[in-house]
């Protein structure tokens, strides 16, 4: 396969670049340096907050591009390139609707930090895997001194089966996306990974056909729509596999790394 025109690679994190223990591999860090030598930029696109992404990618954090909070904000070298906040009124409507459901946890994701009301151990374990900066408050409705980028529901019993049917009507006004088995993300209608990628491509003068994307879940499909090459992981949701142009091994089989190694071999062969 000819990867010689690729200038930008964008990858989802959980279930894609990170293994099932939420770790980035030493193999990727070596490959990343080689991508830099070939002047190929690398972006991570995730429902995670910006600060969590930086912590998880600490070894190369200053060189990555971040499409965080499902694309509600794009950061590069400490500079904000793109932001799409939520309207506070509709955020409050979702919070009130979720409170009517049993055993659900809410995360209010601001530009400064995340906010939660409950600290039950079974919730804090997955929460702390995705959020680095946060504050515990008595009432999310009273958070006023921050720009809201995303609202997330954590349903430990299974988000798609239990929570989504009661909340998907908000899709008329918001992006409502399953971002994992226990997560539902709410963003502004214009805030999604695809729009963030498009904004980044425009700022860096990179074309869709010069972009390669990796993903595993439904909030990654928009990345594929703006990428000439799209790879669904072996462990991806069936809908993601259906729209991807290519497939990769699972996140525990170094699926991303193996494709990147092929890409580097192709690029080096073209230049030699």
Tens digit of each residue's pLDDT (9 = 90 or more) over 67-123: 999 999 999 999 999 999 999 999 999 999 999 999 999 999 999 999 999 999 999
**Residues 121, 214: Cα–Cα separation, whole Å:** 32
Check pLDDT > 90 for residue 219.
Answer: no
Give residue 27's pLDDT: 97
The verdict on pTM exceeding 0.85 is: yes
Largest CA distance in the chain: 63
The pLDDT mean for the chain works out to 96
pLDDT in tens, 158-196: 999 999 999 999 999 999 988 889 999 999 999 999 999
- Stretch 139-155: mean pLDDT: 97
Q: Of residues 130 and 263, which shows the higher confidence score?
A: 263
**Residues 244, 218: Cα–Cα separation, whole Å:** 11
Confidence band of 155 (pLDDT split at 50, 70, 90): very high
| Rounded to 5°, angle at Cα 219 from 20 and 22 | 15
In the chain, % of residues over pLDDT 90 = 93
**Residues 234, 74: Cα–Cα separation, whole Å:** 27
pLDDT in tens, 231-254: 999 999 999 999 999 999 999 999
- Stretch 191-205: mean pLDDT: 97
Give residue 178's pLDDT: 87
For residues 177 and 239, is the Cβ–Cβ distance under 8 A?
Answer: no
**All domains of the chain, ordered by start, with CATH?**
8-83+191-271 (3.40.50.1000), 88-188 (3.30.1240.10)
Burial pattern 153-163, b for ≥16 Cβ within 10 A else e, equals: bbbbeebbebb
């Amino acid at each position: 396969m000819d990867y010689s025109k690729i200038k930008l690679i964008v990858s989802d994190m959980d279930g894609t670049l990170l293994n099932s223990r939420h770790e980035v591999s030493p193999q990727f860090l070596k490959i990343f340096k080689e991508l830099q030598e070939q002047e190929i930029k690398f972006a991570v696109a995730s429902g995670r907050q910006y600060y969590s992404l930086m912590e998880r990618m600490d070894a190369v954090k200053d060189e990555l591009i971040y499409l965080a909070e499902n694309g509600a904000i794009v950061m590069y070298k400490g500079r904000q390139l793109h932001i799409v906040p939520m309207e506070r009124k509709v955020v409050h409507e979702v919070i009130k609707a979720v409170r009517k459901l049993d055993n659900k946890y809410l995360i209010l994701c601001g530009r400064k930090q995340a906010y939660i009301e409950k600290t039950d151990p079974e919730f804090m374990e997955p929460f702390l895997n995705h959020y680095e900066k946060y504050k515990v408050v008595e009432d999310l409705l009273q958070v006023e001194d921050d720009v809201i980028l995303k609202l997330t529901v954590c349903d430990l019993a299974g988000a798609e089966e239990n929570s989504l049917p009661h909340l998907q009507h908000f899709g008329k006004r918001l992006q409502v996306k399953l971002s994992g088995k226990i997560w539902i993300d709410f963003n502004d209608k214009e805030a999604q990974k695809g729009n963030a990628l498009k904004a980044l491509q425009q700022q860096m003068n990179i074309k869709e056909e010069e972009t390669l994307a990796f993903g595993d879940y439904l909030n990654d499909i928009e990345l594929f729509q703006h990428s000439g090459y799209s790879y669904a992981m072996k462990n991806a949701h069936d809908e993601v596999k259906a729209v991807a142009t290519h497939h990769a091994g699972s996140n525990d089989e170094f699926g991303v790394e193996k494709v990147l190694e092929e890409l580097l071999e192709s690029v080096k062969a073209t230049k030699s």
